[in-house]
Amino acid sequence: MAVALARKTLVHEWRRFLPAVMSVGFSGVLIIVQGALLLGIVGTNALPVTQSRADLWVGFPGTQSADLGRSIDAGAAAELLVDPRVLRVEPLLLGSGDWRGPRGGVSVTLIGIDTRPDGLGLAEAMPRSGRALLTEPATVLVDVADLDKLGTAIGGAAEINGQRVRVVGTTDGMRAMGGVNVVASLATVRTLDRSLAAAGDVTYYLAALRSPGAARAVKARFSQPETRKRFEVWTAEDLAGRSVRYWLLESGAGVGFIFATIVALLVGTLITSQTLTAAVAASTPQYATLRAIGVPFPKLRRIVVEQAAWVGAAGLALGLAGSLLAAALAYVNGIPFALGAGIMALSGGLVLSVALLAGVLALRRLRHADPAALLR
């Protein structure tokens, strides 16, 4: 009876509960969008991993994030190839530079890849034809979303670390936050960043396996203490996840976003609680009537909690719709926005919790639902 009455009250007096639905929906949009933006932004630091097709990554022991890699000895490639499960190994370089173009300077991250058509590095971010363009010395690719930021176009020229380069094409999905990712051949990156000039300097080795399912087993083989003193092996998922966790939990930006999300939860709880409390207060005569005809207080409490649950569900639906719209806008504008099933499920649970908590806080107004109030 209480459940049916709660629903009928919401339908009949929807204007009274609409502000609560709107506040829950706004909280949902705020939480989901902030979470997706946070994961999208920190995820840009793992783009060399997520945009490549390597099964295993080999780098400096203890590397905290993919973008913080340091040089390892070239002999690691030979050790990997001894394992019959490893099909091929190719190097990837990470360097840095100062871009000078028509719009001034900007810091860039140099990514050197194997330019063979079947190369593993950044295979998801560019077509094979783009890799072929990099075989010419001093040619680079930039993300299509960064062309305007750099003030250049395909065929345009600029300087990196004082050396002239030519933009011969674009990548897709390699937009970084703050700086710019510039992709070139291994030889070009060594020329542009003198700290990588030595032939033995390799930031990562990318390994393709004959059977991707053997990745964990191969990783375990090369994770012995004596091996890990020289290099460390990760699966692509492990290195990408490590990068996200580092920037999410150990950087100031990640902690700031988490704090802002907590504030959004508190604000949403307070606003929703106030609107539900106002709705309960306005319905005091009706609740008093129910008390007068013998409805016990626990059942009235159940009605309010049920109403809060329905308000939360309606607000969550509104919040998910708003978040999908935000995701579409972010995609059109090239903004990193990681709206996955996990963040939506977690945010949905938080939003429903906010609504239920607000309903519990609104229960104190039921104490005023005394049958004597009908005689005043």
Domain borders along the chain are 2-43+251-375, 92-202
Q: Which one, of 186, 163, 171, lies nearest residue 99 by Cα?
A: 163
Q: Does the structure show a pLDDT above 60 at 74? A: yes
Per-residue pLDDT reduced to its tens digit, 227-271: 777 899 999 999 999 998 888 887 766 777 777 777 776 776 677
- Report the alpha-carbon angle 357-359-360, nearest 5: 65
Count of helices and strands (H, E) across the chain: 14, 9
Per the CB < 8 A criterion, the answer to whether 188 and 112 are in contact is: yes
Lowest mean pLDDT among 63-67, 83-87, 235-239, 288-292: 288-292
Tens of pLDDT along 92-144? Answer: 999 999 999 887 789 999 999 999 999 999 999 988 888 999 999 999 999 98
Prediction pTM value: 0.78
* Helix (H) / strand (E) containing 34: helix 14-43
pLDDT category at 281 given cuts 50, 70, 90 is low
E strand intervals along the chain: 56-59, 86-101, 104-113, 139-143, 157-160, 163-171, 180-185, 204-209, 232-235
- Tell me what the mean pLDDT of segment 298-308 comes to: 76
- Return mean pLDDT, the chain: 83
